[in-house]
Amino acid sequence: MTARILGSLLLRDAVVARRDIVGIMIRTMLQPLLFTFVFGKLLISMGMFPKAYATMIIPGIAGLSLTTSAIWAVAMPLIADFGFTKEIEDRLLAPVPIEVIAIEKLFAGILQGAMTAMVVLPLARLIIGPIPGLTLQKLPLLVLMIVLSGGVFSALGLFLGTAMQPQHISLMMQIIFAPMIMFGCTYYPWRGLDHFPVLKYLVLINPLVYVSEGLRAALTPTVPHMPMPVIFAALIAITSLLLWLGMRGFRKRSIS
Amino acid sequence: MRTEIHISALRKQYGAVTALDGLDLDVGEGELFGLLGPNGAGKTTTVGILTTRVRATSGEAIVAGKNVITEPVAARAQIGVVPQQPNPDLQLTVRENLVFHATYHGIPRAEASRRADALLERLGIADKGGAKAQTLSGGQKQRMMIARALTHEPRVLFLDEPTVGLDPQGRHGVWEILNDLRKQGRTIVMTTHYMEEADQLCDRVAIMDKGKLLALDRPAALRAQAPGETIIDVTLDRPFDGELPALNGITRAEVRGPVLRAYAPSPATGIPAILGFAESRGYTVRDIHLSRPSLETLFISLTGRKLA
């Protein structure tokens, strides 16, 4: 019964996402693709960046769109639902533990993130042209990384979605997302921070670092990256912490 | 009559504020039960606890055989809720709102669609099935909310202030629907701060104030408890000046500018007495208004305050 109800909750989100497909694509893909075009194509063609830069940024681009997509899919509806529309109240009355409603949101975030990655990767490859070192040989690792990345950012979305008020959305973008993206090892490898030792270890609180590095290991294994056990351990630890915070927030907002 | 809702010593504390202060209440199967009281009386908190959305501080609440505090999941399967603020899923059409709601309760999609169509028809909004919820009028939106709450055929239906903000036509529409549902034997609990609504619709009414139950009975029985006097308001052509003497047929009277308010055991003797007195003093009577003993006068006598 719970599985069937979970299925209908997911179907509802799928129907809603399909109706907003253009908006979702613009919100999650436009910026990464523009970045791909400028840094992966224009600047390389101008000779300002070496050709190898394309190899280095493609996993970062995939990671960035995937995580943006997952976080938007979870946080924004929750902020609106708990803040003013109260639409979610109907689902909170479903005969399942209310945690199931939160878990469904996480699934929706992971799915949306995975779909975004599957669209952005080929498009980026199309924009840049052949990318030396890009491989799909490590497909199981790639799938695992996509799921883990979607998971950690859906959990972040759950936490932010239950902790933030609607009027704080733009502030959240500036304070959380801007530094997270800039210091997320999306546009450079973590190893590249060797010259900035303080920054190198400070960025380790940023889950995007492990997403970028893990996707690097999966997509462009020739680029230096963190060891996989470290990536897995960090992603699991951060996801657990965010899940705990997010579930606590969800319960608090659902039952007074 | 079987007990469908049992509430005992129910308390809810929000920090220093006591929203519910030891409520005891039973609602029978098939009853249309009204919770009447002003804003802040604890009606919405009561419904919140009974619908598992508010955690009780202490006490017990059983709905359709399920303890809402210890088995909220099982309780949710038995209840339908029409909230104070309509909360349709704005991204979905009216019909989809109903269909999805049913599937959230585990009803297979085909059966959910069949029920949705039947309910839209029954509540007179079949032509709105394909519309987005925000395009509906207030009355239509409320019909949709009621239809949605019924798709999983709950044993108990809760409505929190179902007619607030509706025009008279919308309000009477909702009343008709509730009367129909009662005839089908469904247990209904509604909150309201409209006396007339509680009086006309409900089998029994609980009058609440400040988290406490003040009175509980059939509307007619409650009215009988009200102070037995009719209030006669006589509006004069100018403010009344002077003292009011004792008048035959009038228990007491007070001056409110140009209005003389007289409390009379019977309007038949009270009206001539107060009219005769005003005219004897050279005033012209512009208007006369009677308030019969009602839930309103009972509420004033119980709390010293007006209801709304």
Predicted confidence (pLDDT) per residue in B169-178, tens digit: 888 888 888 9
Question: Given B76, B87, B100, which is nearest A8 (Cβ)?
Answer: B100
- What residues of chain B lie within 8 A of the CB of A16, using their CB? 91-92
Cβ-proximal residues to B77 (8 Å cutoff; 6+ apart), any chain = A95, B66, B105, B152
B225 pLDDT higher than 80: no
- What residues of chain A lie within 8 A of the CB of B14, using their CB? 256
Which is it for strands B204-209 and B187-192: parallel, antiparallel or unpaired? Answer: unpaired
Q: What chain A residue is nearest to B53 in terms of C-alpha separation?
A: A255
Domain count within chain A: 1
Q: pLDDT category, B220, cuts 50, 70, 90?
A: confident
What mean pLDDT, rounded, does chain B reach?
A: 89
Number of helices and strands in chain A (H, E): 12, 0
- What residues of chain A lie within 8 A of the CB of B100, using their CB? 8, 11-12
Q: How far is A9 from chain B (nearest CA, A)?
A: 7
- Best CA proximity match to B145, nearest among B172, B157, B184, A254: B157
CB distance from A21 to chain B under 8 Å?
A: no
Q: Cβ contact (<8 Å) for B92 and A15?
A: yes
For residues B114 and B165, the answer to whether their CB atoms sit within 8 Å is no
A223 pLDDT higher than 60: yes
CA angle A186/A192/A197 to nearest 5° reads 110
Look at chain B and count its residues. Answer: 308
What span, in angstroms and rounded, lies between the C-alpha atoms of B178 and B197?
A: 11
What span, in angstroms and rounded, lies between the C-alpha atoms of A249 and B100?
A: 25
Cβ-proximal residues to B136 (8 Å cutoff; 6+ apart), any chain = B94, B125, B128, B144
- Best CA proximity match to B233, nearest among B217, B247, B253, B214: B253
Predicted confidence (pLDDT) per residue in A107-139, tens digit: 999 999 999 999 999 999 999 888 888 888 999
CB distance from A16 to chain B under 8 Å?
A: yes
Residue B152's φ and ψ, nearest 5 degrees, are -100, 15
B1 pLDDT higher than 80: no
Name the residue type at position B188.
Answer: I
CB distance from A26 to chain B under 8 Å?
A: no
What span, in angstroms and rounded, lies between the C-alpha atoms of A185 and A189?
A: 5
Please state whether the predicted TM-score (pTM) of the whole model is above 0.90.
no
Range of the domain at A183: 2-255
How many Å separate Cα A16 from the centre of its chain? Answer: 20
CB distance from A10 to chain B under 8 Å?
A: no
CB distance from B160 to chain A under 8 Å?
A: no
- What residues of chain A lie within 8 A of the CB of B104, using their CB? 5, 8-9, 90-91, 93-94
Predicted confidence (pLDDT) per residue in A1-17, tens digit: 889 999 999 999 999 99
Number of helices and strands in chain B (H, E): 10, 14
Q: How far is CA A21 from CA A29, A40, B126, B169, in A?
A: 11, 26, 29, 40
Q: Cβ contact (<8 Å) for A256 and B83?
A: no
What span, in angstroms and rounded, lies between the C-alpha atoms of A158 and A115?
A: 19
> Which burial class, exposed, middle or buried, applies to A201 when counting CB atoms under 10 A from its CB (0-12, 13-18, 19+)?
exposed
Q: What chain A residue is nearest to B87 in terms of C-alpha separation?
A: A87
Q: Cβ contact (<8 Å) for B104 and A91?
A: yes
Q: Cβ contact (<8 Å) for B55 and A5?
A: no
What span, in angstroms and rounded, lies between the C-alpha atoms of A165 and A163?
A: 7
Q: What ipTM does the predicted assembly reach?
A: 0.87
What span, in angstroms and rounded, lies between the C-alpha atoms of A53 and A40?
A: 7
Q: Which residues are paired to B192 by β-bridges?
A: B36
Q: What chain A residue is nearest to B91 in terms of C-alpha separation?
A: A16
> N- to C-terminal Cα distance for chain A?
26
Q: Cβ contact (<8 Å) for B103 and A8?
A: yes
What span, in angstroms and rounded, lies between the C-alpha atoms of B119 and A185?
A: 55
